Amino acid sequence: MYETLTEFERALARFGDKVQYIVGLEITDKMSPEVAYQEIKNMMKELKKLRKSEKHEWETESNVNYD
């Protein structure tokens, strides 16, 4: 099942796992809310970069298929 996932889909799954972990740390007062927010914000930036690059690849592939 997981071998058919794209790089973005795998990264999205890891992102969800990491967010759960960070939220758990914040809820138990092992991480401040500000640090938790910054961590999630930085991970989201990386995820958006990956999505953008993969989207560009999809568009390039679709243009090649129609030419």
Q: 6-60, pLDDT tens digit by residue? A: 899 999 999 999 999 999 999 999 999 999 999 999 999 999 999 999 888 777 7
User: What's residue 65's pLDDT?
Assistant: 58
User: What's residue 18's pLDDT?
Assistant: 98
Mind spelling out the 3-state secondary structure of 15-48?
A: HHHHHHHHHHHHHCCCCCHHHHHHHHHHHHHHHH
User: What's residue 1's pLDDT?
Assistant: 56
Token pair of 53 as six digits: 């690059």
User: What's residue 2's pLDDT?
Assistant: 61
Cα 43 from Cα 33, distance rounded (Å): 15
| SS3 state of residue 67 | coil
